């Protein structure tokens, strides 16, 4: 299925960071992808970060961050 974007080691714990750059809101499929990585790698915490791309008339990228736990 692929690989997580980042695995951050915090002492004895790990954190998976999944980066996106999609125009819409983060949905269930993006969160499920992160949960799958977390389950496979036995990681309890993850961050899903979307650098939401602006439309043609907007000039600003919006940052959306979600914490996911198992």
DSSP alpha helices (H): ranges in the chain? Answer: 28-41
| pLDDT tens column, 19-45 | 999 888 889 999 999 999 999 999 999
Q: Are strands 6-10 and 45-52 parallel, antiparallel or unpaired?
A: unpaired
Is the pLDDT assigned to residue 1 strictly greater than 80?
Answer: no
State how far Cα 69 lies from the chain centre.
12
pLDDT at residue 61 in the model: 74
């Amino acid at each position: 299925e692929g690989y997580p974007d980042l695995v951050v080691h915090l002492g004895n714990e790990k954190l998976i960071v999944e980066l996106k750059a999609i125009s819409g809101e983060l949905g269930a499929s993006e969160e499920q992808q992160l949960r799958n990585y977390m389950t496979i790698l036995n990681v309890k915490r993850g961050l899903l970060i979307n650098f939401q791309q602006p439309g043609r008339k907007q000039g600003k990228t919006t940052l959306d961050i979600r914490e996911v736990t198992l």
